[in-house]
Structure 1
Amino acid sequence: MGWFALALLIVSSASLVRADSSDHRYKAGDLVPLYANKVGPFHNPSETYRYFDLPFCSPGAVKDKKEALGEVLNGDRLVTAPYKLDFLADKESETVCKKKLSKEEVAQFRSAVTKDYYFQMYYDDLPIWGFLGKVDKEGKADPSDYKYYLFNHLHFEVLYNKDRVIEINARTDPSALVDLTEDKEVNVDFMYTVKWKETNTPFDKRMEKYSQSSSLPHHLEIHWFSIINSCVTVLLLTGFLATILMRVLKNDFVKYAHDEETADDQEETGWKYIHGDVFRFPKYKSLLAAATGSGTQLFTLTIFIFILALVGVFYPYNRGALFTALVVIYALTSGIAGYTATSFYCQLEGTNWMVEEELACGYSFLKLHLEMGGLTVELFATAALPFGTIVVIFLIWTLVTSPLLVLGGIAGKNSKAEFRAPCRTTKYPREIPPLPWYRGTLPQMAMAGFLPFSAIYIELYYIYLQVFGGHRIYTIYSILFIVFIILLIVTAFITVALTYFQLAAEDHEWWWRSFLCGGSTGLFIYGYCLYYYYARSDMSGFMQTSFFFGYMACICYGFFLMLGTVGFHGALFFVRHIYRSIKCE
C-alpha cells in the first residue's frame, strides 16, 4: 500500500509540472489558444467573477477549456476569448464586434470601472492583465461630476522565439474611450491590435519574468533581514529559557537523589510527588487520539507540500498545482491519521477501537467539510462549483480517503504498541492543590501561543500581502520553510516549559493542557486575521468577509491540530524523560 501511494504521488506530482498537453509549437497562421478567465476589483483580488458576467463581445460558440481538478478549485473558469491571435499574424484595429449596450449594461460596466475592475486572460498558458476603464477626476471636486470611460481597444504585443510564444503584454488605448457617465444606450465598437516581435529568450525561461515579479526583489533583502532578526530574537529567548529550565531540572535531580540517600521517608514535593498520577490516562482519550492522528496527518501533508514547493513544482501561475497537490496528498496520507490515532488509542488501553476510527473519520470529514466550505465561499465570488467536481471530490473521499483511514486503523490496532510509563500509576488520583489564576488553561494557552506567533507574524504579513492584498504569487518558499521549522521548535519548547511548571505545581492533568497550549498559536493567527482585515485590507461586503474569515478558519483549525500534536508529543517525550531519570517506584 505504501509503495502504491508513493507511486500515485510521483505520478500526480509529475502531472503538475506539465504546463499543458500541447507542445506549445506553432506554425505561421495557427490559432494560439486565448482564454478569458475572470474579472474583479483590483484592490480586492479575492473577489472575482467570470469574464462573461460582464456584457463583453461573445466569440459566437463559446467553449470552456477543460480544467484539471486543482484549476477548478482555484477558481479558474477559462472560456474562449473573443480575440483571435493567430501565430505571427499582425492585426491593425481589428473589430471584434459592434454592440449596443442597454442602460442596464452601461450601469454594469460603470460599476466595474468605478471599482477599478481588471481582467485576466491566458494566452498559450501565459497570464495577461488589463483594466476595463478609467474614472476621470481631474479638476472635479464633486464626485457627481466624475466621468466614467470604458476602454474599447486592446493592443497585444507578443514576443516569439522561432515557433514558440515567449511573452505577451496587453495595454489599453487611452484615446479609445466610451463614455459611460449617463444611463443611456451606447454603441460600442470593441477592437484590438496585434503586433509580433522576435526575441532570443528561450522557451524554458519564459516563466522567469513572473517568478521575479512575484518575489518582489526590491523588498527581498528587507524581507530576509526582518525574518532573520525575528528568528534570532526568538531563538535567543528560547535558548535563555531552555538554559534556565535545564539548570532547574539539574537542581531537581540533585535534590531528589540527595533525598533518596539521606531520608527516604521525607515528604516529597514538586513534580516527583505526583509520579503516581502523571501517567494516569486522560479523560476523553478517544478524542485526544483522534486529534493527534489528524494533526500527524496534517504535519505530514505540510512536509510533502514544502518538498514539492522547494523542488519548483509550484512555479508562478502553474494554475491549480497547489490545490491538486493538497487534494491528492491529503487523500493518500489519511492512512497515517488512522494508524496514529488507533495505535495511540490502543496504547491508552482503549477497547472500542472502531469508535476511535469513527472519531478519526469524523475529524477527517470535518476537515473536508471545512475545506469545501471555504472553497464554496470562494467560488460564490467566482463561479458555481461544477457538479462533476463535487462528485470527483466526494469519490476521492469515499474511495480513497476513508478506506485508507480504515486500513491505517487496522494496522494501528495490530501493531500492539504499548505505552511504556517509567512510573506506576496509583489506584486513586491525588487532589490537585489550588492554583493561582494565571496557571489556568486559558492564561497558559495565551502564554504558549504568543512566543511561536511572534516568530511568524512578519512572514504572515508578507503572505497576507501577496495572497489577499495584491496580484502576486507567493514564491519565497525557502524563507517560509525556515520559519516553519522555527515555529515547530518554539512550539515544542514552550509547551515543554509550561508542562514542567504545571507538574512542579503538582498538577498532573497535563495531557490535554499540552495539546491546547501547543495549538493555541492557531488562535493567535486567527486573531491576526481580524487585524489584517480591518486595518490592512480593502475587503468589504458579505461575500468577501465570508470568504476571508471562512477560509482562514479552515487554515487556523488545521494549524491548531498540527501544532497541538507537536506540543503534545514534545511534552510526552519530556515527561517520560524526567521521570525515567529518578527512582519513582
Structure 2
Amino acid sequence: MEMSRGVMTRWAAVALVLLAACLAPVLGGGETYKDGDPVRVVANKIGPYFNPTETYEYYSLPFCAPDKMEKESHNLGEILAGDRKVLTHYDIKFKVPNHGMRLCTKTLSLADLQKFQRAVDEDYYFEMLVDNLPVWAYVGLIHTPSLLSSPPSFPILGDFDEKSLENISAKRFLYTHLIFNIDYNGDRIVSAQVATSPSSRLDITDVDSEITVDFTYAVIWKESSVRYEDRVERYQKADFLPATVEIHWLSIINSFVLVILLTAFLAMIMVRVLHNDMRYLIADEEEEFGSEDESGWKLLHADVFRFPVNKTLFAAVLGAGTHLLCATVLLLLLALFAFSPGKKGSLPKVIAILYPLTAGTSGYVSASVYKQMGGFNWVWNTILTSVLFPGPLFIMFCICNSVAISYESTAALPFWTIVSVFATHLLMTFPLTVLGAIIGKRNAKPFEAPCRTSKVPRQTPHVPWHKSLAQVLVAGFLPFSAIYIEVHYIFTSIWGHKVYSLYGILFLAFVLLLTVTAAITVTLVYFQLAAEDHRWWWRSMLYGGSTGFFIYLYSFYYYSARSRMNGTLQTTFFFGYMLILSYGVTLMLGTVGFFSSLSFTKYIYKQLKLD
C-alpha cells in the first residue's frame, strides 16, 4: 500500500512545474507612466464589512456611474473571490495633484437614499483598484455624540473597532468626497490609499424627498523611496498588529514544544510497553505459541490483518484523502517559495489548478489498496473515488450559489464559470483519476502481512459506546489543540479582511498536526489491539479524522463569539463551506491515521515468531 518511487518522482516533477508557473505572475513587471498619463481607477465590489462573502457590484448602489460601463477582465481566482471589476471615470493623471474636482452632480431619489441608509447601517465598505493596488473606504458613518467628530480611518486588512450604537440620537452620514493618496517612485506607483473627508458628508438620517448631491474627489501625490517590487509589503505587514504577531509566534512555539513533549511521552510509553511485551515473547520462545499465558494483541495475529468491510468505500476514502494531502502539501510549498498574498485572486486560482493536477494520486492509491484487498468492482471504485470529495462540494456549492443568486451578490458564480469548472473536473480531474487507477492497479504489489489470516474471524469483545466515543474525542482534541492558534488566524483570513502571510509558521503547524495525528492514532490502535479487538482498520481512520469534527465545532464558536457575521447569505456560506472544509480534513487526516497505524501493526507483528 505504498507509492512506488517512480510515481513519487513524477508528482515531484509536477510540483516543480507548478512552482515555475506560479512564479511568473508573481515576479512579473507592472505599469509604467509618464507625467500626465491617465491612471486607471477600477471599482471592484461593495458590501457589509463584517460579512466578507456578501459582496455586490460597486454600482449596485447609486454612485456616479460612467455613461458606458467598461468591465475589466477577470482570471478564475478573481471570479471565485467575488470580484466584479468595472472602470470608473475618476480623472487621475500621474503626478498631477487635484485638490478638488466634481465627479458628478446627482439627484438621489427616496429609493436611492434608502439604499444608502441601509448601506450605512450595515457598515458597507467598497474596494477599488488604483494601478492594481486595492484601496478601501466606508460608504458612510453612523455618528453618535459619544464618538469623535472625525470618523475612524478604514482599517487596511486589520482589526476594526466596533462603532457604538447605544445612543438613540445616532445620525447617518454619507461620504460624498474621496481623497486619493498615491505614492510614486520614478515612473511607477508604489502605494495607494483612499480616505473620506469628515467635512464633506451628507446627513441622510431623516429624508422625505429627493436630494441633489455633488460627489467630489481630490488626488494627492507624494514621492516615496519604496521600491516597486516591495509595494505589496504594506499589505503583508498590515495583516496582523505588531502585538498580535508576537503573541502568534509565542503561541506557535509553545504549541511546538507541547507537541514535541506529547509525542516523546507517547513514544516512551509505547517503547516501554512494547519492550516488556517482546521480553515476554523471548522468555516464552520455547513454549508453543498460543499457550494459555498469552493475552492482548499477541492473540490477534490471525485476525489483525483481516481486510475491513466495505472495501470499495475504504479504498476510495484513502484515495480521496491522499489526493487532498498531496494538494495541501504542494499548496504550502508554493506558499513558502512562490506565493504572493498581494496578488488578487491568486489563492483560489492556485487551488483550482492544484486539485485537478494532483487527481492521479487518488486513483493510484485507491486502486492499489483495492487490488491488495482483493476487490474486483474497479469501475465503481474509480467513480466513487473521483466523487467522494467533489460530490459533496458540488452539492454545497449549488445551495450556496442559489442563495447568492437570490441576493444578487457577486459571490454567485457566473454560468460560464460554473461550466468551465465542471468541465475541468470532467475533462481533467476524472481522466487523471482513471489514469492513476490504471497505473495503481498494474503496479500494485500483493499485500505483505507478517501473519497469516485465519478463515474464521475471532469474536471481538464488547466495547461500551461511551468508551469508544471518548477515544475518538481524545484522538481529535489533541491534534486540534496543537494547531488551535493557527486555526484562529486562518479563520480570520478566510472569513475576514486579513491577509495571511506567515506561511513558514503555517507549514510548521501542518507538520505538527500530521505528527500528533499519527502518534495519537498509533497509541489508540495499540490500546485497542491490547484489548483484543482486531477491528482497527476503520477505527484508525476515525481516530485520525476526528480532528475535522473539532474544526467544525470551533466554527460555531468563531461565528457567535469572535465575529459579527450575520444574515442568511453569510451564514449559509460560512457553515456550508466550513462543513466541506472539515469533511476534507477528516478524509486527509483519516488517511494519515490509517497508514501510520498500518506501519505500526506490521512492525509489532513482525516481531512474533510464528510456526
TM-score (norm 1): 0.94
Offset of residue 139 of structure 1: 6.5
Q: Confirm or deny that 1:353 pairs with 2:378.
A: yes
**Distance 1:444-1:219 versus aligned 2 partners, 3 A rule:** same
The residue type paired with residue 13 of structure 1 is C
Q: Confirm or deny that 1:149 pairs with 2:173.
A: yes
State the distance in 2 between where 1:475 and 1:373 align.
31
The aligned residue for residue 64 of structure 1 is: 71
Offset of residue 5 of structure 1: 4.7
Offset of residue 204 of structure 1: 0.9
Identical pairs, percent: 46
Report which stretch shifted further, 147-156 or 564-573: 147-156
Equivalence map 1:168-207=2 (5 Å): 168-183=192-207, 184-207=209-232
Is the partner of 2:521 in helix, strand or coil? helix
Equivalence map 1:165-244=2 (5 Å): 165-183=189-207, 184-244=209-269
Q: Is the CA contact 1:373–1:550 (under 8 Å) kept in the aligned structure 2?
A: no
The residue type paired with residue 57 of structure 1 is C
Q: Confirm or deny that 1:483 pairs with 2:490.
A: no
State the distance in 2 between where 1:556 and 1:92 align.
52
The aligned residue for residue 137 of structure 2 is: 130
Is the partner of 2:141 in helix, strand or coil? strand
For 2:485, which of 458, 470, 478 is the aligned residue? 458
Q: Is the CA contact 2:33–2:94 (under 8 Å) kept in the aligned structure 1?
A: yes
Q: Confirm or deny that 1:503 pairs with 2:529.
A: yes
Q: Confirm or deny that 1:37 pairs with 2:61.
A: no
For 1:17, which of 14, 26, 43 is the aligned residue? 26
State the distance in 2 between where 1:330 and 1:370 align.
18
Offset of residue 370 of structure 1: 5.4
Offset of residue 533 of structure 1: 0.9
Q: Is the CA contact 1:215–1:475 (under 8 Å) kept in the aligned structure 2?
A: no
Q: Is the CA contact 1:291–1:363 (under 8 Å) kept in the aligned structure 2?
A: yes
State the distance in 2 between where 1:265 and 1:562 align.
38
Q: Is the CA contact 1:335–1:409 (under 8 Å) kept in the aligned structure 2?
A: yes
TM-score (norm 2): 0.91
State the distance in 2 between where 1:345 and 1:111 align.
57
State the distance in 2 between where 1:206 and 1:185 align.
43
**Distance 1:6-1:502 versus aligned 2 partners, 3 A rule:** closer
Offset of residue 200 of structure 1: 2.2
Offset of residue 324 of structure 1: 1.0
**Alignment RMSD:** 2.1
Equivalence map 1:246-325=2 (5 Å): 246-262=271-287, 264=289, 266-267=291-292, 268-313=294-339, 315-325=340-350
The superposition leaves residues 357-393 of structure 1 with CA deviations (integer Å, 9 ceiling, x where unpaired) of 1211221531551574587379554343122211221
Say how many residue pairs are matched: 580
Is the partner of 1:145 in helix, strand or coil? coil
The aligned residue for residue 492 of structure 1 is: 518
Report which stretch shifted further, 408-417 or 76-85: 76-85
Q: Is the CA contact 1:134–1:150 (under 8 Å) kept in the aligned structure 2?
A: yes
Q: Is the CA contact 1:339–1:409 (under 8 Å) kept in the aligned structure 2?
A: yes
State the distance in 1 between where 2:186 and 2:448 align.
69
State the distance in 2 between where 1:484 and 1:265 align.
43
State the distance in 2 between where 1:433 and 1:142 align.
62
The aligned residue for residue 590 of structure 2 is: 564
**Distance 1:342-1:544 versus aligned 2 partners, 3 A rule:** same
Is the partner of 1:524 in helix, strand or coil? helix
State the distance in 2 between where 1:6 and 1:495 align.
29
State the distance in 1 between where 2:285 and 2:146 align.
89
The superposition leaves residues 541-583 of structure 1 with CA deviations (integer Å, 9 ceiling, x where unpaired) of 2111111111111111110000000000000000000001112
**Distance 1:566-1:526 versus aligned 2 partners, 3 A rule:** same
**Structure 2 unaligned residues grouped into runs of 5+:** 1-6, 148-164
Offset of residue 41 of structure 1: 2.2
State the distance in 2 between where 1:403 and 1:15 align.
28
Is the partner of 1:575 in helix, strand or coil? helix
The superposition leaves residues 54-86 of structure 1 with CA deviations (integer Å, 9 ceiling, x where unpaired) of 111101211111011111111111111232212
State the distance in 2 between where 1:556 and 1:39 align.
29
Offset of residue 32 of structure 1: 1.8
The superposition leaves residues 313-335 of structure 1 with CA deviations (integer Å, 9 ceiling, x where unpaired) of 1x233111111111111001001
Offset of residue 484 of structure 1: 0.7
State the distance in 2 between where 1:142 and 1:269 align.
69
Is the partner of 2:379 in helix, strand or coil? helix
The residue type paired with residue 214 of structure 1 is D
For 1:330, which of 355, 359, 370 is the aligned residue? 355
Which contiguous aligned blocks of 4+ residues in structure 1 show a shift greater than 6 angstroms?
139-142
The aligned residue for residue 563 of structure 2 is: 537
The residue type paired with residue 401 of structure 2 is T
Q: Confirm or deny that 1:93 pairs with 2:119.
A: no
Is the partner of 2:69 in helix, strand or coil? coil
Offset of residue 260 of structure 1: 2.9
The aligned residue for residue 156 of structure 2 is: none
**Distance 1:475-1:176 versus aligned 2 partners, 3 A rule:** same
The aligned residue for residue 471 of structure 2 is: 444
Q: Confirm or deny that 1:546 pairs with 2:572.
A: yes
The aligned residue for residue 163 of structure 1 is: 187
Is the partner of 2:388 in helix, strand or coil? helix
Offset of residue 173 of structure 1: 1.3
Offset of residue 216 of structure 1: 3.1
Q: Is the CA contact 1:275–1:584 (under 8 Å) kept in the aligned structure 2?
A: no
Is the partner of 1:309 in helix, strand or coil? helix
**Distance 1:484-1:160 versus aligned 2 partners, 3 A rule:** same
State the distance in 2 between where 1:109 and 1:382 align.
19
Q: Is the CA contact 1:214–1:472 (under 8 Å) kept in the aligned structure 2?
A: yes
State the distance in 2 between where 1:374 and 1:478 align.
35
The residue type paired with residue 210 of structure 1 is Y
Offset of residue 524 of structure 1: 0.6
Is the partner of 2:285 in helix, strand or coil? helix
Report which stretch shifted further, 115-124 or 39-48: 39-48
State the distance in 2 between where 1:434 and 1:479 align.
44
Q: Is the CA contact 1:259–1:266 (under 8 Å) kept in the aligned structure 2?
A: no
Q: Confirm or deny that 1:382 pairs with 2:410.
A: yes
The residue type paired with residue 124 of structure 1 is D
The superposition leaves residues 230-268 of structure 1 with CA deviations (integer Å, 9 ceiling, x where unpaired) of 221232123212211111111111112222324546222
The aligned residue for residue 421 of structure 1 is: 449
Offset of residue 353 of structure 1: 1.7
State the distance in 2 between where 1:475 and 1:374 align.
31
Is the partner of 2:180 in helix, strand or coil? strand
State the distance in 2 between where 1:78 and 1:88 align.
24
Offset of residue 507 of structure 1: 0.5
